[in-house]
Chain A
Amino acid sequence: MRIVTLAHETDFAGWRAAARQMAIDGVAPEHVAWCIGSNGGLFADDPMQHEIIDPPQFSVSKRFMQLCQRAALHTDPDRFAFLYRLLWRLRQQPQLLDIAVDPDVVRATGMAKAVQRDMHKMTAFVRFREIDIEGGERFMAWFEPTHHIVMATAPFFTRRFANMVWSILTPETSVHWDGQKLHELPGAQKSDVPAEDANEDLWRTYYASIFNPARLKVAMMQSEMPRKYWRNLPEATLIQPLINSAAARTQNMVDTAATDPRKHRKMAPAAGPAAAPAGSLRQLQQAAAQCKECPLWQPATQTVFGEGNAKARLMLVGEQPGDQEDLAGHPFVGPAGQLLDRALEEAGLDRASLYVTNAVKHFKFELRGKRRIHSKPGLREMAACQHWLDSEIAAVKPDLIVALGATAAQSLLGHGATLKHYRGQWTALEDGRKVWVTVHPSYLLRLPDPAAKAAEYAQFVEDLRQAAAALKSIS
């Protein structure tokens, strides 16, 4: 029988060194006894083994070490023997930890989880009290953890309260942060910490006021804030009185007849934008913002109306706003808009001199998981939106219109108009205005083949150049 004596309750390094050596020596778990004490040191019965000189290495997964590191902080007195047994089994079955239903794995993960939870509760339930001392603020807290977690949790407090001087006292170990360095100190007593802090009354006021008596859920509270923590929480003295009075308070709210509304000045109707002249672009835009003529308005964020030069000689008409346009409220600001901007520049057209709009003013999409997938507007939606486009044309009075894609072409030239048929030629509308049809920039974005994409893009720029040239020729 080997007896391993670890230096203290959290001597994980000692366990690790001993466990490694014994695993290499092939000492079965049933032949090892683990104890904790300041005398003796490792392998007390066998002084020959005391110095481990460069032991042969073997490796275990990081995941296993992390699991052991947490589980070793558990109060279970058998923990070091148990973890050695787990290591022993792991060497025979390297995939052991994957078998989540293995009793030893269940036990180890359960221990690690309990420790993790205790650490988390320490970060939550430590309550500092300020102590009166010369030379600035100083804080102290008394906490009673379940497991041996104080040193493992202390770094959280040094990160958070790096510029404060504080101490956390517990029965087993205490920690003190002097603003630079963390000191480990012996255990202490509750009476070593001041009995009050001036802010605790305010904190209790807050606690009582944020509680809603109409929604009592005591079991829920207790599962997250077990009773064992209550004795060190200043607010806990309020729990029972709040529970006791909740039913009566709620009944009182329900029973009390509504009072007469307090007299108040009625708000002036929201000072919306001043009414714009009928038929003007601004008036059209305000009216379109309220449009509910087809069902697309509901799932969308907003109407995305046309924008740009109100006296533009060239108007661009796209299909409909996309995801980004719907969020921003402006046409052609997403990826397709950026591509369009680049092409316009190459074609020698200044976007600021144009009027840019869409055939349909709301984003039509389908939700797939959390993603909004663009769907093509239907005839009904196009028909509902037609009058907005017609009014925009009537207001801006462009000489030329470029239709980007089939939907725009159909809105301008009628149902059935195809790109194939109309692209690369000027088509006159009934009022004599000329329309030039090209592709939608998002079509270019979707092309998978880089060569085809480059060729189509060049063609697109060429189409825009033609429009620019036509514009020059009629000025």
Chain B
Amino acid sequence: MDFQIKLQVLADAAKYDASCSSSGSDKRDSKDGRGVGSTEGMGICHSYAPDGRCISLLKILLTNYCMYDCLYCVNRVSSNVQRARFSVEEVVKLTLDFYKRNYIEGLFLSSGIIRSADYTMEQVVRVAKVLREEHDFRGYIHLKTIPDASEELLAEAGRYADRLSINIELPTEQGLTDLAPEKDARAIRRSMGRLRWRIDESRESRANPTTRKPLRFAPGGQSTQMIVGADATNDQAILATSANLYGNYRLRRVYYSAFSPIPDASKALPLKPPPLVREHRLYQADWLMRFYGFSADEIVDPKGGMLDLDMDPKLAWALRHRERFPVDLNKAPREMLLRVPGLGSKAVDRILSTRRVRALRSDDLARLHVPLKKILPFITLPGHSPGATLDAASLAAQLRTPPVQPDLFG
């Protein structure tokens, strides 16, 4: 098969994985090496596709042959899509050729399951091993981990990779049983547990100055992905699952992937445009949990259990808790400022920094670079008080922004 066609097939097969992050690993460069590559903490997006997604890594499958029959997946065994398989050497060469031209930060390699979990994992790990050991490649490597692959392969994967990930796939175990009959939710959690155990162990060994040769194991941590909209799980349950995964396995990220129509889809799943706005709201809610001090069970309105599509979850929360507002920008503690709709964590830092020198006045607001229409009803400071607008029944209607989907021409 022509190499270009292989690349087409195996990149197409990989695009339903949302993650393309190349951040969060240790810092290194190739000044004292023989190959190419560096990682500097923050990842780089080398391009963007018209789907708005960053292209940071060469994201491909080693093969899209697969023994599993996961209904939502384009590569399921029963699908009629074209199949291809890269050799280890082909992936290595393509990664290096792209890297040297500054197209990518590194490689995100995944694979359909062929023969067995261990055989597949062994192939995936081999690519990383050749890149690191034969070519002294110091760019970023993200490997998809096959649940329940052997301990030896896992240790090897962690030695070469910056990040490892195992997809939880669906927010509930029932969903997984229904749509991915060969996958085992408990095996997925067990593997995430093993990864966290090893990641913690390696972090401790690196933090300990007396360790002579620190253990290397996925310094960029682990992440996962959940498909949204392929089953009936509500947002409340999705966020509860995310909170549990963050807490249990210290994931760097949970990616939400709106279930998207795929070529040659299964009859069992309804084909609708992907719920992109819902996906966006889930990401916002996820941020509220991780950086804004919200707990998973207070973000979603208990009535209905779904995030509001017409407004961001923080605004929706504030409208349900008007008794906690207005907030005095000059006096409120950081935790409360973070709960003001429209105030991001950087704006909060600017407010706190200014406050240490002088009081903020209403004419300062324009220079905070924040959406005033959204913020004004919820704050007070010299020269501004929301008065009755905060309690007005019409406030929600004024702040609602009906989502536009699909976003065709920007």
Residues of A with Cβ closer than 8 Å to B? 95, 98-103, 106, 120, 123-130, 137, 139, 141, 156, 158-164, 197, 199, 201-203, 205-222, 224-225, 233, 235, 239, 242-243, 246-247, 250, 253-254, 256, 258-259, 261-262, 264, 267, 270, 289, 298-299, 301-302, 324, 326-329, 367, 369-372
Contact = CB atoms under 8 A, between A and B. Distances in A.
A130 B103 CA distance: 13
A98 B360 CA distance: 12
B77 to A, nearest CB: 5
B105 to A, nearest CB: 9
Pick the most buried of B16, B47, B273, B406: most chain A CB atoms within 10 A of its CB: B47
Interface in B184-211: 184, 186, 189-190, 192-194, 196-197
A210 B103 CA distance: 14
B345 interface: no
A261 to B, nearest CB: 4
Contacts of A222: 410
B44 A328 contact: no
20 contacts: A95-B356, A98-B356, A124-B46, A137-B100, A139-B100, A158-B31, A159-B40, A161-B30, A202-B7, A203-B98, A203-B103, A209-B11, A215-B258, A215-B274, A243-B409, A250-B273, A254-B273, A267-B67, A301-B190, A327-B248
A261 B360 CA distance: 65
B50 interface: yes
A162 B102 contact: no
A206 to B, nearest CB: 5
Given A209-B12, A253-B262, A301-B192, A159 B271 contact: no
B4 A101 contact: no
Given A222-B410, A242-B50, A367-B243, A163 B36 contact: yes
Contacts of B349: 100
A159 B98 CA distance: 17
B354 A100 contact: yes
Contacts of A329: 190, 193
Interface in B373-410: 406-410
A212 B78 contact: no
B407 to A, nearest CB: 5
A191 to B, nearest CB: 19
Contact of A95 (B266, B274, B357): B357
Contact of B265 (A95, A137, A235, A253): A253
Given A127-B101, A162-B29, A216-B407, 6 more contacts: A95-B357, A199-B97, A216-B406, A218-B50, A262-B77, A370-B246
A214 B349 CA distance: 38
Contacts of B303: none
A99 B357 CA distance: 7
B305 interface: no
A299 B248 contact: yes
B357 A98 contact: yes
B36 A164 contact: yes
Contacts of A301: 189-190, 192-193, 248
A302 B367 CA distance: 52
B261 interface: yes
Contact of A214 (B9, B12, B274, B409): B274
Interface in B35-54: 35-38, 40, 44-54
Given A214-B261, A221-B48, A367-B243, A262 B79 contact: yes
Contact of B51 (A201, A212, A225, A233): A212
Nearest to B271: A254
Contacts of A99: 353-354, 357-358
A126 B100 CA distance: 11
Contacts of B248: 299, 301, 326-327, 372
B321 interface: no
B277 to A, nearest CB: 11
B41 to A, nearest CB: 12
A210 B45 CA distance: 14
Given A301-B189, A327-B194, A250 B14 contact: no
Contact of A216 (B67, B186, B408): B408
Interface in B137-187: 173, 182, 184, 186
B265 A217 contact: no
Nearest to A96: B357
B166 to A, nearest CB: 12
Contact of B186 (A126, A210, A302): A302
Nearest to B259: A214
Given A210-B14, A367-B247, A202 B94 contact: yes
B320 to A, nearest CB: 22
A129 B102 CA distance: 9
Contacts of B271: 253-254
B12 A125 contact: no
Contacts of A298: 173
Contacts of A253: 261-263, 265, 271
B33 interface: yes
Contacts of B353: 98-100
B55 interface: yes
Interface string B306-350: 000000000000000000000000000000000000000000011
Contact of A225 (B12, B47, B264): B47
B45 A224 contact: yes
B80 to A, nearest CB: 5
Given A103-B367, A164-B36, A299-B244, A141 B49 contact: no
A217 B51 contact: yes
Nearest to B189: A301
A125 B35 CA distance: 21
Given A242-B50, A327-B193, A161 B354 contact: no
Contacts of A102: 367
B51 A216 contact: yes
A256 B38 CA distance: 45
Contacts of B351: 100
B58 interface: yes
Nearest to B351: A100
Pick the most buried of B77, B193, B351, B356: most chain A CB atoms within 10 A of its CB: B193
Contacts of B360: 101
A124 B272 CA distance: 35
B234 to A, nearest CB: 16
Contact of A328 (B193, B243, B408): B193
**Closest 6 A-B residue pairs measured CB to CB?**
A220-B52, A217-B52, A218-B410, A261-B78, A100-B350, A159-B29
B407 A160 contact: no
Contacts of B35: 163
Nearest to B8: A209
Contact of B4 (A205, A262, A327, A370): A205
A299 B79 CA distance: 34
Contacts of B350: 100-101
B129 interface: no
Contacts of A258: 264-267
B281 interface: no
Contacts of B267: 258
A120 B79 CA distance: 41
B101 A130 contact: yes
